[in-house]
Amino acid sequence: MAALLITLLGAVAGAILVPQELARRDAQPIPTHSPMHRKPPRAGAAAAKQIPFVRGVCWEGAEKIDSTDLDPLLRIRANWISQTPFGWQRVLDSPEIRVAYGRPHRWGGFWGESDEGIVETTRWAHARGIHVLLKPHIWTHGGWSGSIAMKTDENWAKWFDDYREFILHYADLAERSGAEAFAVGTELGGTTKHEREWRSIIAEVRKHYKGPLVYCANWAEDLHHTEFWDALDWIGVQAYYPLSKRRAPTTGELVQGWNGPLADLDQLARIWAKPVVLTEVGYHSLDTAASRPWESDLRGNLSMDTQACCYEALFRALPDHPAVNGVFIWKWHPDYARAGGPGDTEYSPQRKPAEQVLARGYAAIERRGL
């Protein structure tokens, strides 16, 4: 019987094209849209709750800005920004999280990441009808945050104590500033197996912040391994899916590349009866942009067209997958006049053909009344 089951599983796996395991930074994640990760919908599960479509960008916390720096967002019809303050962890197995809530940290940090900067930016966003997702993040100097792991139970207890203090500070700030949504965590896949501790933190956050909560899972690491989605309001995905191995793929090829990931997210939304939001999605202005979009130091040739095609494919694919209720584009710089531009190979769509694609895509979603 076991041999037959193995044979059948092998036949199924051979008949379905599943990407190879891909590395994000120093991790070796398993693609989330592998059929081996899927769970059957829960018996009697309700349909995923729909929310107004989030037309977002990931706002960079930079040096002190002027309120008018948010005005370009109105031209692309964005109605949300995410803001990301940081906590710092020296190495992946250190239980100590260092914070600098009211000032830039000696390891890094800017006015836009300070409490003052977050409150001011939120106020200016609200004045323009733009909502805010406050999305705290742990930054480590020894690798990717998704690989954080303690070596002892004592250190795990210390890490969760530090993280609780960190996240409750920002829950209070989100409530005080009127942020419309709050992320309890971002790409912390090495910690999410500690389900009891996470459920305790989420319950405490709800005492401090009254709006919707989301956890922002890595597309390949913890999206399907997280078991506390029922305690949250949104399923967040850091959606750096590989769409094509080819250089400069066509828009049609990229739309095909989205089919597996988006179908998988539809399934996840049905399992947990929660809306899905792509809390990050972004592409370099390189001909290799679709192959490994999670790589910050990706190599390739300058290609504005490839970046634009990646966004065009996303907006073409989304209407067939209503479980995805929002997108945050990585990333948007406050200093618009110096951001992006025709020679820039980085993620920003600003002052590039991709910005016009983004504006058309968000305008079309707005017209559909989503």
- Domain ranges for the chain: 84-233, 239-370
Q: What percent of the chain has pLDDT over 90?
A: 77
pLDDT at position 24 is 39
Say which range, 27-31, 133-137, 149-153, 278-282, has the weakest mean pLDDT: 27-31
CATH topology of domain 239-370: TIM Barrel (3.20.20)
**Three-state secondary structure readout of the chain:** CHHHHHHHHHHHHHHCCCCCCCCECCECCCCCCCHHHCCCCCCCCCCCCCCCCEEEEEECCCCCCCHHHHCHHHHCCCCEEEECCEEEECCCCCCCCECCCCCCECCECCHHHCHHHHHHHHHHHHHCCCEEEECCEEEECCCCHHHCCCCCHHHHHHHHHHHHHHHHHHHHHHHHHCCCEEEEEECCCCCCCCHHHHHHHHHHHHHHCCCCEEEEEECCCCCCCCCCHHHCCEEEEECCCCCCCCCCCCHHHHHHHHHHHHHHHHHHHHHHCCCEEEEEECCCCECCCCCCCCCCCCCCCECHHHHHHHHHHHHHHHHHCCCEEEEEEEEECCCHHHCCCCCCCCCCCCCCHHHHHHHHHHHHHHHCCC
Q: What is the mean pLDDT of residues 183-202?
A: 97
For residues 108 and 299, which has the higher predicted lDDT (pLDDT)?
299
| Confidence (pLDDT) at 32 | 39
Q: For 213-242, how does the pLDDT look when each residue is reduced to its tens digit (9 = 90+)?
A: 999 999 998 999 999 999 999 999 999 999
- In this prediction, residue 47 carries a pLDDT of 56
User: Comparing 84-233 with 239-370, is the CATH topology the same?
Assistant: yes
At residue 22 the predicted structure's pLDDT band, cuts being 50, 70 and 90, is: very low
Which pLDDT score is estimated for 50?
Answer: 72
Q: Is residue 42 over pLDDT 80?
A: no
- pLDDT grade for 14, boundaries at 50, 70 and 90: very low
What's the pLDDT at 18?
A: 32
User: Which has the higher per-residue pLDDT, 175 or 368?
Assistant: 175
13: pLDDT strictly greater than 60: no
Which whole-number Å values give the CA distances from 321 to 69, 258, 316, in the listed order? 33, 10, 10
Q: What percent of the chain shows pLDDT beyond 70?
A: 84
Please check the confidence at residue 338 and state whether its pLDDT lies above 70. Answer: yes
In CATH, which superfamily holds the domain spanning 84-233?
A: Glycosidases (3.20.20.80)
Confidence of residue 155 (pLDDT cuts 50, 70, 90): very high
What's residue 320's pLDDT? 93
pLDDT of residue 30: 37
Average pLDDT of span 176-183: 98
* 35 pLDDT higher than 60: no
- pLDDT tens across 321-332, in order? 999 999 999 999
Q: With bands split at pLDDT 50, 70 and 90, how would you rate the model's confidence at 40?
A: very low
- Mean pLDDT of all residues belonging to the chain: 87
Lowest mean pLDDT among 73-82, 218-227, 343-352: 218-227
Res. 19: pLDDT tops 50: no
**pLDDT of res. 163:** 97
Q: In which band, very low, low, confident or very high, does the pLDDT at 31 lie, cut at 50, 70 and 90? A: very low
The mean per-residue pLDDT over the stretch 25-49 comes to 44
* Predicted pLDDT at 103: 63
- Is the pLDDT score of 356 beyond 50? yes
Which of 71-85, 93-107, 207-221, 309-323 shows the lowest per-residue confidence on average (mean pLDDT)? 93-107
